[in-house]
């Protein structure tokens, strides 16, 4: 169980970046220009378990991808914002709309565009292979890299804290 378990128990939402967090950050293009992404099945299982425990899951991504929309739809994640330049503003608007304080959110990021968003939440997590900017903004860091089960690791922390 991570340190500060009492603070973790107050979290109600998990906000995720996509490229470098839910994926390994590499971009694959098919012969017709379609963008392909690879997601880890364990991350999906963890996200479903968090939803069952009452957590809101949201995705805020700087890029737009049909693959992300499909993966989120498959996982029942309805709070999906893609093509977002100002992730901090998107987070605040999401929290306002859902009536959740930013401090009641955990956020997983991997790079500089995620830093402002990470600084607003109660638990900022950088994946193991994150850029130094994201690592400096994080309260915790996963053992696993983005796209390799890092999100499941965070889900397990949050679920363990809930169980007390």
CATH of the domain at 73: 3.40.50.1000
Tokens matching residue 17: 């970046």
The pLDDT value recorded for residue 150 is 98
The pLDDT value recorded for residue 2 is 45
DSSP label of 145: P
**For the chain, which ranges sit under pLDDT 50?**
1-2, 6
End-to-end CA distance of the chain: 9
Tokens matching residue 136: 């400096």
Range of the domain at 24: 5-163
Tokens matching residue 104: 């009641």
The pLDDT value recorded for residue 88 is 97
Domain count, the chain: 1
């Amino acid at each position: 169980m991570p340190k500060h378990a009492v603070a973790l128990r107050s979290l109600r939402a998990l906000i995720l970046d996509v490229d470098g967090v839910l994926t390994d950050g590499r971009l694959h293009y098919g012969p017709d220009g379609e963008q392909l992404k690879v997601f880890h099945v364990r991350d999906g299982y963890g996200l479903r378990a968090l939803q069952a425990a009452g957590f809101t899951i949201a995705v805020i991504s700087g890029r737009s991808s049909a693959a992300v929309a499909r993966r989120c739809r498959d996982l029942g994640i309805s709070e999906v914002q893609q093509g977002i330049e100002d992730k901090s503003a998107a987070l605040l608007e999401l929290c306002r709309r859902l009536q959740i304080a930013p401090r009641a959110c955990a956020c997983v990021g991997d790079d500089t565009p995620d830093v402002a968003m990470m600084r607003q939440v109660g638990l900022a997590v950088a994946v193991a292979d994150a850029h130094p900017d994201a690592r400096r903004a994080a309260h915790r860091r996963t053992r696993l890299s983005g796209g390799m089960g890092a999100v499941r690791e965070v889900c397990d922390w949050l679920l363990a804290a809930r169980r007390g």
